[in-house]
Amino acid sequence: MSRKVQLVNWVVTSTELKQIEAQSKLLVEQQAFARDHLISSDATLADLQKAKDEADTNAVVSNQKVAALQPQLLNALSADNVNPSL
């Protein structure tokens, strides 16, 4: 194998090692963050699913309310005489 090919292989290997080290460091940081933010609970998977479903429902309701109010807000802000109390 020529020295040029060896050098190219070394550079590629070195770059791959640096990428693996960076990924490893990121995983260690994410794991540390997760450990620091774990919350012990007696909640079951069913309890968590119920809470998620309720949050999803609340998000849909909130989005519908915002969507209904957006045209009114646009009209109020686009009016020639804007009421400063808004």
What are the residues whose beta carbons fall under 8 Å from the beta carbon of 86, sequence distance 6 or more? 76, 77
Q: Are residues 32 and 12 in the same domain?
A: yes
Number of domains in the chain: 2
Q: Are residues 3 and 34 in the same domain?
A: yes
Same domain for 27 and 59, yes or no, is: no
Q: Which residue segment(s) compose the domain that 10 sits in?
A: 1-38
Contact residues for 9 (Cβ-Cβ < 8 A; gap 6+): 1
Q: Alpha-carbon dihedral of residues 18, 24, 29, 34, nearest 10 degrees?
A: 160
For 13-37, how does the pLDDT look when each residue is reduced to its tens digit (9 = 90+)?
888 888 999 999 999 999 999 999 9
Would the pTM count as exceeding 0.85? no
The string of DSSP letters for 37-49 reads: T-------HHHHH
**What pLDDT was estimated at residue 10?**
72
| Shared domain check, 86 and 65 | yes
**50 shares its domain with 80:** yes
Positions of the chain with pLDDT lower than 50, given as ranges: none
Question: Do 34 and 47 reside in the same domain of the chain?
Answer: no
